[in-house]
Amino acid sequence: MTTAYIHPIHLRWSDEDRNGHVNNSKFMTYTEDARIAWLGRMRAETGGGPGSEGVILASLHCEYKAQVHFAQSKELEVVNTLRRLGSSSVELHQVVRLPGDDGEVVADLITVLVSFDYANGRSAPWGDRQREWLQKFTEHAVESSPA
């Protein structure tokens, strides 16, 4: 049974662009907020320590599945699971969908984060507590296309 971290997103009127749909760049902001909230919870629940002080974005891959119109949906959610855990990195699957288990998927992202020591400008391996915490979110059954 996979645990997913679900982060709700409230759209803003100005998220739409001239095309009358949510602008492509906003999905990066929505998934960013989901990661910040999720890792904030990791810090709170693991008590901090090495490998939990900061993360930096290393890679992002986004597939746009459907347009989102503010007039039709003012809320979305980001469903976050873990695909792969490295010594100081993590590969996430972030699915943006309309709210609810049956909600239409509007964007599908793979993001790689690196645990990062900003003071020294280099990666910082996860601690044991962080590894254990992150592994709870491992994606066992990938329903969308495998990498």
Partner 1 sequence: MMQDEPSAVSQERDVPVGETYVYEVQLRWSDEDRMGHLNNTRYLTFAEDARTRWFAMAPRDEGDQAGFILARMEVDYLQQVRTADNDWLKVVNTVLGVGRSSLRIQQEIQRMDGEVVNRVIATQVHFDYDRDSSVPWTDTQRAWLERFATVKPDATDPVAAGTT
Binding site for partner 1 (CB under 8 A): 8-10, 12-14, 29, 32-33, 36
Q: Output 36 or 142, the one with its CB closest to partner 1.
A: 36
Q: Output 2 or 29, the one with its CB closest to partner 1.
A: 29
Tell me how far, at minimum, the Cβ of 40 lies from partner 1, in Å: 9
The set of residues, in sequence order, having a beta carbon less than 8 Å from that of 89 and lying 6+ positions away, is 58, 112, 113, 114, 115, 123
Q: Output 23 or 84, the one with its CB closest to partner 1.
A: 23
The span from the CA of 95 to the CA of 27, in Å, is 10
Determine the straight-line distance between the first and last CA of the chain, rounded to whole angstroms: 20
Tell me how far, at minimum, the Cβ of 36 lies from partner 1, in Å: 5
Q: Output 8 or 86, the one with its CB closest to partner 1.
A: 8
Tell me how far, at minimum, the Cβ of 88 lies from partner 1, in Å: 22
- By three-state DSSP, how is residue 12 classified? coil
Tell me how far, at minimum, the Cβ of 70 lies from partner 1, in Å: 9
